[in-house]
Amino acid sequence: MSQSRGVVGFCARVAEEKWFHGVSAGVILLNAVILGVETYPRAVAQFGGALHVVDSLCLAFFTLEVAIRLTACGRRPMEYFRSPWNVFDLLIVVSAMIPGVRENVTLLRLFRLARVLRVIRIFPTMRIIVHAVWRSIPGTTSLAVLGVILLYVYGMLAWMLFGAQLPEKYGSIGRATLSMFYLMLFDDLSGTISEGMALSRWTLLFFISFVLLGGFLMVNILLGVVLSSLDEARVIESEDDANHAAAAHAAAPAGASGASGAEPAQLGEPVSARIAALKHAIGELEAELHRGLPVPEPREGEGSHGRAGVGVG
């Protein structure tokens, strides 16, 4: 039991070490380099065996990493699956061991490519950005719907205004909407406005209003949504780090606790050991006090004889 507690505590400490994260990032980057080298037929012909060995070593390290993180959870293995990154890591590792995937070169290469995404979990700033993008999806979706409506309305107006004179750009609702989308991206802005003003100077109001609404207002709203989600992601990431640190601190004692009668000194934590030692010392003192042994007093005759001897001397 003590050995299992030691293994859980060791894995919990290793999983939180910076050097372990650094090694993991290095292996992920090495895996990415191998994928890039395999795109050159000459390199595969010369170093195909070595590349396969290195890829197998990378997979072995990823498997070891998953085992360490899973072991660190102790007797609460479901704690491992609470993190989406842990689930992603497990899927990437297991997928490479499935017989149907190993024989399919395309699927295997896709899963190997997905390993590169694991570097996101190592760097907190990347995790914050990914969380921000994920949390901004609802607001971005609403903004995208509004943008589609705006493009459709202005595309219909452009077809009505310029469909007959400029059919190559505005001859149908599809062409008109696509041309307005390019205009929203400021693609050939001056040329598009010049073509419209050649027909009528009043078209300048049409293009300016669309550029202000679609090019500036929509983009600024999108930036506001993303920045707001970024702030929320920072707060959530800090809370997750605090909760993860607390769980890691309690993982070894909680996951490795044996029977209910286990002594507190065997928890493996220094503070718990000190508390147990203090309790044991206090218990011994209380036992000595409860014994109530009287302290022997000198007899009256022996005391006077001693005093007389002192006087004679």
Contact criterion met (CB below 8 Å) for 215 and 189: no
The domain boundary residue, chosen from 235, 254, 280: 235
Whether 298 is in a domain gets the answer no
| 8 and 100, same domain (yes or no) | yes
Q: Which residues contact 211 (CB under 8 A, 6 or more apart)?
A: 183, 184, 186, 189
> What are the pLDDT tens digits along the chain (313 aa)?
555 667 888 888 888 888 988 899 899 999 889 989 988 999 889 988 898 899 889 989 999 999 998 888 888 888 888 888 888 888 888 888 887 776 677 777 888 888 888 888 778 788 888 888 888 888 889 999 999 999 999 999 999 988 888 888 898 999 999 999 998 888 888 888 888 888 888 888 999 999 999 888 888 888 888 888 888 888 877 776 666 566 555 544 444 444 334 444 444 445 556 676 777 777 777 777 766 555 555 555 544 444 444 444 4
Is 143 found in the same domain as 113? no
Domain with 164, as residue range(s), is: 137-235
Same domain, 141 and 116: no
11 lies in the same domain as 112: yes
Contact, 204 vs 197, CB < 8 A?
yes
Q: Are residues 105 and 143 in the same domain?
A: no
Return the ∠ at Cα 107 (arms to 101 and 109), rounded to 5°. Answer: 110
Give residue 261's pLDDT.
Answer: 40
pLDDT of residue 48: 86
Measured CA to CA, the distance from residue 246 to residue 82 in angstroms comes to 15
With respect to residue 186, please indicate whether it lies within any of the assigned structural domains: yes
* Residue 28 belongs to domain with CATH number: 1.20.120.350
Q: What is the dihedral of CA 86, 88, 89, 90, to 10 degrees?
A: 90
Whether residue 32 lies inside any domain: the answer is: yes
What is the reported pLDDT for 10? 87
Q: Is residue 26 part of a domain?
A: yes
Contact 241, 234 (CB under 8 A): no
Residues 141 and 115 in one domain: no
In this structure, the answer to whether residues 80 and 179 fall within a common structural domain is no
Residue 253 lies in a domain: no
Pick the closest to residue 200 from 162, 159, 164, 169 (CA basis): 162
CATH number for the domain that contains residue 149: 1.10.287.70
Three-class secondary structure of residue 111 per DSSP: helix
Do both 207 and 105 map to the same domain? no
Residue 85 falls inside a structural domain: yes
Q: How far apart are CA 172 and CA 179, in angstroms?
A: 11
Asked if the structure places residue 128 within a domain, the reply is no
Number of domains in the chain: 2
* 203 and 113 part of one domain: no
Looking at the fold, whether 94 and 143 belong to one and the same domain comes out as no
Which of 186, 205, 235 is a domain's end point? 235
Say whether both 44 and 13 belong to one domain: yes
Domain finish residue from 87, 121, 155: 121
Classify each residue of 279-309 as buried b or exposed e, where b means 16 or more C-beta atoms within 10 Å of its C-beta. Answer: eeeeeeeeeeeeeeeeeeeeeeeeeeeeeee
DSSP state of 259: S
- Do 99 and 154 sit in the same domain of this protein? no
Structural tokens at position 81: 């699956």
> Does 215 map to a domain?
yes
